Amino acid sequence: MQRNNIKTTANFKPEAPDEMRRTHEQGFSLIEVMIALVIFSIGLLGIAIMQVNGINSNASARMSSEAATLAQDQVERLLGLPYNHAALSNGVHAAVPLPGNIYDVGWVVNEAANAKTVTLTVTKITATLNRAKNVQIRFVKPEVF
């Protein structure tokens, strides 16, 4: 029965010194965390740039839509006028700012046989005209007998 007093070494593990324990610890080093933050920051910067571009595109589309609506409104006004009205006389009709709007509306009338071709232009009023966007509509006003 001495067998019970003998310790087996199969499951025995000696305690490792502190130096050995550190090599087996898991986690992230400071360099790894900083690299991850840099990569994350670059991604956020890209998202921010896309957001700004989206906002600018939406504003541009809104202004184009407003200008097209104003142009169509002016076309319908001109089509409703009599054929010999002063607003449909041959030549250039200066751009007039519409009250309460940031757009100028002007048109050119070219008279041909029994019809007038009108080219209407709506321009956004800006401090610098280098970024002004124009909407142009061309239509024909026939002379009705």
pLDDT, tens digit, 9 for 90 and up, residues 17-74: 555 555 556 778 899 999 999 999 999 999 999 999 999 999 888 888 988 998 999 9
Note the pLDDT tens digit of each residue in 64-81: 898 899 899 999 999 999
3-state secondary structure (DSSP) of residue 10: coil
DSSP for 64-111, please give it.
HHHHHHHHHHHHHHHHHS-TT-GGGSSEEEEEEEPTTSSEEEEEEEEE
What's the pTM value of the predicted model, to 2 decimals? 0.65
**Which single residue is written with the structure tokens 């939406």?**
58
* Euclidean distance between CA atoms 41 and 37, whole angstroms: 6
What does the pLDDT look like over 79-123, one tens digit per residue? 999 999 999 999 999 877 766 678 888 999 999 888 999 999 998
Give the per-residue pLDDT at 132: 67
